[in-house]
Chain A
Amino acid sequence: MATELAIRTHGLTKQFDRHIAVHDLDLEVKMGEVYGLIGPNGAGKTTLIRMLATAEEPTTGEIYINGERITRDQSNSTIKRRLGYLPDDFPLYDDLTVWDYLDYFARLYQLRQPRRRQRLHEVLELVQLAPKRDSLIATLSRGMKQRLSLARTIIHEPVLLLLDEPVSGLDPIARMQFREIVKVLQEAGMTILISSHVLSDLAELCTSVGIMELGFLVESASLKDLYARMSRQQILLSTLGDVDVLKAELRNYPNIEDVEVLPGTEQVRIAFGGNPEQRADLLRSLIGSGIPLTEFHCTQEDLETIFLKLGHKQAS
């Protein structure tokens, strides 16, 4: 069973002095998944990722990458070839050009010619830095540096990518570019573990999420499961008439759990517990009762709401 998992940890613990950063953590990530790690600052996400990347030694516990155990007293060179790790501060060598930097890491990861040259072109195209290949790293913008770091992380075609807060400090366009790249990598079959405070990004990218708090993994499930279990259906309604009339009318219907008038608008948001047929009935009845509806729009609670509903406070 272990070989089907890209990551498996058992009893993983990391203690810094009296503070337990990661506490007896059992994590399983299937191959090909994009696994999002959520949690407030200090929850232990970075420590967990650093341990998975072999950058930090666990105090106790076991880590298996693709079924192979990370051992403390060995260089783990086979595992290292399979891993790509992007830390949140992505340090770079300012004295090298983009091409020389990637060429150096390609050599460190034992890529030989002509594959090396071909791979360098591929990743430069992917991260949209091909026109900058001869530029000094010092001259790049923050977004470009971030993309170059991602290129460095994937230059050796790792099977597991560990991305720690990869979009922090990026502008919306750079974030969008980054999301697109991660999608391409997922399509290429890489397993990706990504920690982020931007939950909308994770909701768009991830197949599963794990929630960490005080060093514990308090939730780990596929996004589909999580939405099915935790996310309520919401309907957004707008009327040309009096919003209080609409609100009063809504009280007559079953399956409506909550009615909220959105401040400053003529819109009402309701939490709806019924199935699609009952939803159609509701629309029919509202029109039948003469409410001048201009909008009847179904949504689901987003990841951030679910996260907050679980009792966690997202500090970003």
Chain B
Amino acid sequence: MIQHWLDQLGDWNPQLFRELKGRLKPRNLLLATAVSAIGQLLLVASFLVKLPSVPTQSDSRYCTGASLYGYPIFPCQLTPMGDIAINWQLWWLDVFMSVSLFGLMSLLTVGTYLLLNDLNHEERRGTLNFIRLAPQSTQRLLVGKLLGVPALLYLVLALALPLHLITGLTAQISPWLILGFDGLVIASAVFFYSVALLFGITSSWVGSFQAWFGGGALLLSLLIVSSAGTQIDWLRLLSPTTILPYLIPSNLLSSGQIFGQGVPWILENLQPLQWFNLPIGSNPVSLGTVMLVNFAVATYWVWQALERCFRNPNATTWSKSQSYLLVACFEVAIVGFAASGVETKDSWIGMHLSQLLGMNLVFFLGLMLAMSPQRQAVQDWARYRREQVTIQDGHKRSRLLPDLIWAEKSPALVAMALNLTIAAAILLPWVALWDGRESDVYKVAATISVVLTLSMLMVYATVVQLMVMMKNQWRTSWAIGTVSAIVLLPVVALFTLSLPEKVPAVWLLTAFPWMALEHLPTLAACMGVLAQWTATTVLTAQLTRQIRRAGDSVSKTLLQSDRVSLPM
């Protein structure tokens, strides 16, 4: 029966079959079971020791008296039998929260590590090429990896599922809410695993450090978003821990804690959450639905990239036409969160605008690296595009502009300019629609901030394209290093020299030009834009020269060098 089932599974997805065959061996299964059992025992034991055990104990988190000083520590009371009365519901709730958080973190970070490690091994061994050459769809092959590589981790967590459900139900959490949370965890795993696959395929230059880097970065981000919280609403939607406070039964709201933070305080920040004035934070169903849709859209975009990069790891992550839609999607998503509550700001530029521009900065820096074709691709395009001309009415017509907007291997500058224009086309109407007190003053400053930031991003895009055109084998690392340096170093230098207030104009030449607008006249800001455009023009001229040189035929180069060496 099992053999027949496995055989059918193998026919449906040979990759999954291979991964399971390599991993589900008796020794590994035994080890996974032991790890899960010991982990659960230790976790429950760590909560058992927190129970008040000595009848003389005056207070505890799990005692039943009235709360002292507003903290979730309660005076202990004795039962008629002489024992300490214990708030078991709260104890079960705390165990449930720990099991859920621990399970979630393990699932996401360990799974990401395993996937990256496996891809790295396959790439180094050269076996990934055989899989690429097989007549199977990319989805099927990668779904096989996604389900098969962390198979033992799934087993460890599946064995902890009864504890998760029992603790949740005993803490009187609605089973629907528990299942909804689990659904979100699965959606987040699909998303983060897909990102891991994409990172693994496109960043083999990171080397064997890849798996530690990916897993570590994800763990750190999740810890920051979950424990410290974030003011960036869109990021909150990417962490399933966001929904956890809604699972807590109403009678325990005041005592509930997640990562040491009081649940009432978390909910106070979460419940006013709106997206284009839709009250998505008002209840768990609306928040959960939006989170699921957010994961679905984000996963869709990652899979679009996987489709391209798995077959050809040298291709840009997204095509130019895909990037236009992706940027529009991203801008609408983040502007939706900023669209409400503008008038409540205390700063004149406003926190929402700074956040929006900050997120745009990070997003576009990533997009530049993803979209800039490597040296070889640009060289091929420059060398052979002359052969691809359309003949209309007997005349050869150059395809330069359509090539720069749509073509696969052309430099990404025009496409980046279009993407930044799309961002501006969404951000500027949002600014124009502000209607708060003194909104006109804000509007001018906000418009200038948007223009300055986007035009600075254009400078960075040119630098990135120049860097990935380098002959150096480590050009991607150089591009990341250079852009990080030109984004961060000026800011560090400004603060170190205590210059922000003394020379505010310098801010206009950094990635955070809105920081200086408070201290500068509009004319200075316009001069800043002019300076940025001049920088872009100079860098573009240099890039064009490089591309022309790269596109010269070998014979032309040889003839030119011959001419130079001939005696006159």
Interface set of A (CB-CB < 8 Å, partner B): 15-18, 20, 53-55, 57, 59-60, 75, 77-78, 80-81, 83, 85, 87, 89, 91-93, 95-96, 100, 103-105, 107-110, 112-113, 152
Per the bound structure, the CA–CA distance linking A59 and B387 in Å amounts to 12
Per the bound structure, the CA–CA distance linking A93 and B125 in Å amounts to 9
Q: Which of B129, B138, B554 contacts A18 (CB 8 A)?
A: B554
Q: Which of B311, B375, B554 contacts A75 (CB 8 A)?
A: B311
Per the bound structure, the CA–CA distance linking A89 and B129 in Å amounts to 12
| Stretch in B7-15, B220-228, B337-345, B528-536 touching the partner | B7-15
Per the bound structure, the CA–CA distance linking A104 and B311 in Å amounts to 20
Per the bound structure, the CA–CA distance linking A312 and B129 in Å amounts to 33
Contact check, B133 vs A53: say whether CB atoms are below 8 A apart. yes
Known: A93-B22, A104-B17. A55 touches B132 (CB 8 A): yes
Q: Identify which of A20, A59, A80, A108 gathers the most chain B CB atoms within 10 Å of its CB.
A: A108
Does B259 touch A at the CB level, under 8 Å?
A: no
Contact check, A91 vs B126: say whether CB atoms are below 8 A apart. yes
Known: A57-B312, A93-B127, A95-B22. A15 touches B135 (CB 8 A): no
**Closest beta carbon of chain B to A86's beta carbon, Å:** 10
Q: Which residues of B contact A20 (CB under 8 A)?
A: 554
Per the bound structure, the CA–CA distance linking A59 and B133 in Å amounts to 19
Does B383 touch A at the CB level, under 8 Å?
A: yes
Known: A17-B471, A104-B14, A104-B17. A59 touches B380 (CB 8 A): yes
Per the bound structure, the CA–CA distance linking A83 and B132 in Å amounts to 13
Question: What residue in chain A is nearest B126 (Cβ atoms)?
Answer: A91
Per the bound structure, the CA–CA distance linking A108 and B131 in Å amounts to 8
Give the contact-size bracket for chain B. 35 or more
Per the bound structure, the CA–CA distance linking A68 and B376 in Å amounts to 27
Per the bound structure, the CA–CA distance linking A57 and B132 in Å amounts to 13
Q: Which residues of A contact B132 (CB under 8 A)?
A: 55
Per the bound structure, the CA–CA distance linking A105 and B127 in Å amounts to 12
Contact check, B133 vs A15: say whether CB atoms are below 8 A apart. no
Question: What residue in chain A is nearest B125 (Cβ atoms)?
Answer: A91
Q: Which residues of A contact B21 (CB under 8 A)?
A: 96, 100, 104
Per the bound structure, the CA–CA distance linking A91 and B122 in Å amounts to 10
Per the bound structure, the CA–CA distance linking A9 and B314 in Å amounts to 23
Does B50 touch A at the CB level, under 8 Å?
A: no
Contact check, A92 vs B127: say whether CB atoms are below 8 A apart. yes
Q: Which of B129, B136, B314 contacts A108 (CB 8 A)?
A: B136
**Closest beta carbon of chain A to B293's beta carbon, Å:** 30
Contact check, A60 vs B133: say whether CB atoms are below 8 A apart. no
Per the bound structure, the CA–CA distance linking A108 and B7 in Å amounts to 13
Q: Which residues of A contact B22 (CB under 8 A)?
A: 93, 95-96
Per the bound structure, the CA–CA distance linking A93 and B138 in Å amounts to 20
Question: What residue in chain A is nearest B307 (Cβ atoms)?
Answer: A75
A-B contact pairs, 18 of them (CB 8 A): A15-B379, A17-B471, A55-B132, A57-B312, A60-B380, A77-B136, A80-B133, A85-B133, A87-B126, A89-B126, A95-B22, A103-B10, A104-B17, A107-B10, A107-B14, A107-B17, A108-B136, A110-B135
- CB neighbors of A among B150-201 (8 A): none
Contact check, A81 vs B135: say whether CB atoms are below 8 A apart. yes
Q: Identify which of A77, A85, A100, A107 gathers the most chain B CB atoms within 10 Å of its CB.
A: A107
**Interface digits, B376-411 against A, CB 8 Å rule (1 contact, 0 not)?**
100110011001000000000000000000000000
**Closest beta carbon of chain B to A108's beta carbon, Å:** 4
Contact check, B135 vs A80: say whether CB atoms are below 8 A apart. yes
Contact check, A75 vs B135: say whether CB atoms are below 8 A apart. yes
Per the bound structure, the CA–CA distance linking A100 and B125 in Å amounts to 18
Per the bound structure, the CA–CA distance linking A92 and B18 in Å amounts to 13
Nearest 4 pairs of A and B residues by beta carbon: A107-B14, A77-B135, A91-B126, A108-B134
Known A17-B379, A81-B135, A103-B10; further 9 A-B contacts with Cβ < 8 A: A18-B554, A53-B133, A54-B133, A55-B133, A77-B135, A85-B133, A87-B129, A100-B21, A108-B131
**Closest beta carbon of chain B to A133's beta carbon, Å:** 15
Does B557 touch A at the CB level, under 8 Å?
A: yes
Q: Which residues of A contact B560 (CB under 8 A)?
A: none
Does B565 touch A at the CB level, under 8 Å?
A: no
**Closest beta carbon of chain A to B134's beta carbon, Å:** 4
Per the bound structure, the CA–CA distance linking A96 and B22 in Å amounts to 7
**Closest beta carbon of chain A to B313's beta carbon, Å:** 11
Question: What residue in chain B is nearest A100 (Cβ atoms)?
Answer: B21
Does B137 touch A at the CB level, under 8 Å?
A: yes
Contact check, A91 vs B127: say whether CB atoms are below 8 A apart. yes
Per the bound structure, the CA–CA distance linking A103 and B138 in Å amounts to 20
Question: What residue in chain B is nearest A73 (Cβ atoms)?
Answer: B408
Q: Which of A15, A92, A93, A103 contacts B383 (CB 8 A)?
A: A15
Q: Which residues of B contact A80 (CB under 8 A)?
A: 133-135
**Closest beta carbon of chain B to A98's beta carbon, Å:** 13
Known: A54-B133, A75-B311, A110-B135. A17 touches B380 (CB 8 A): no
Q: Which residues of B contact A100 (CB under 8 A)?
A: 18, 21
Per the bound structure, the CA–CA distance linking A18 and B558 in Å amounts to 11
Contact check, A55 vs B127: say whether CB atoms are below 8 A apart. no
Per the bound structure, the CA–CA distance linking A75 and B131 in Å amounts to 12
Contact check, A113 vs B7: say whether CB atoms are below 8 A apart. yes
Contact check, B384 vs A55: say whether CB atoms are below 8 A apart. no
Per the bound structure, the CA–CA distance linking A160 and B376 in Å amounts to 30
Q: Which residues of A contact B7 (CB under 8 A)?
A: 113
Q: Which residues of A contact B127 (CB under 8 A)?
A: 91-93
Question: What residue in chain A is nearest B144 (Cβ atoms)?
Answer: A108
**Interface digits, B471-511 against A, CB 8 Å rule (1 contact, 0 not)?**
10000000000000000000000000000000000000000
Q: Identify which of A59, A89, A92 gathers the most chain B CB atoms within 10 Å of its CB.
A: A59
Per the bound structure, the CA–CA distance linking A15 and B379 in Å amounts to 9
**Closest beta carbon of chain A to B409's beta carbon, Å:** 10
**Closest beta carbon of chain B to A134's beta carbon, Å:** 13
Q: Which residues of A contact B126 (CB under 8 A)?
A: 87, 89, 91
Per the bound structure, the CA–CA distance linking A263 and B332 in Å amounts to 86
Per the bound structure, the CA–CA distance linking A96 and B127 in Å amounts to 13
**Closest beta carbon of chain B to A283's beta carbon, Å:** 55
Per the bound structure, the CA–CA distance linking A91 and B130 in Å amounts to 9
Per the bound structure, the CA–CA distance linking A78 and B134 in Å amounts to 10
Per the bound structure, the CA–CA distance linking A95 and B22 in Å amounts to 6
Question: What residue in chain A is nearest B7 (Cβ atoms)?
Answer: A113
Q: Which residues of A contact B125 (CB under 8 A)?
A: 91
**Closest beta carbon of chain B to A13's beta carbon, Å:** 8
Contact check, A60 vs B131: say whether CB atoms are below 8 A apart. no
Known: A18-B557, A89-B126, A93-B127. A59 touches B384 (CB 8 A): yes
Per the bound structure, the CA–CA distance linking A53 and B134 in Å amounts to 11
Known: A57-B312, A60-B387. A109 touches B129 (CB 8 A): no
Per the bound structure, the CA–CA distance linking A54 and B126 in Å amounts to 15
**Closest beta carbon of chain A to B251's beta carbon, Å:** 53
Question: What residue in chain B is nearest A60 (Cβ atoms)?
Answer: B384
Q: Which residues of B contact A17 (CB under 8 A)?
A: 375-376, 379, 471
Contact check, B135 vs A109: say whether CB atoms are below 8 A apart. yes
Q: Identify which of A18, A20, A109 gathers the most chain B CB atoms within 10 Å of its CB.
A: A18
Q: Which residues of A contact B312 (CB under 8 A)?
A: 57
Per the bound structure, the CA–CA distance linking A54 and B135 in Å amounts to 11
Q: Which residues of A contact B379 (CB under 8 A)?
A: 15, 17
Per the bound structure, the CA–CA distance linking A260 and B504 in Å amounts to 91
Per the bound structure, the CA–CA distance linking A89 and B554 in Å amounts to 31
Per the bound structure, the CA–CA distance linking A107 and B132 in Å amounts to 14
- CB neighbors of A among B110-146 (8 A): 125-127, 129-138
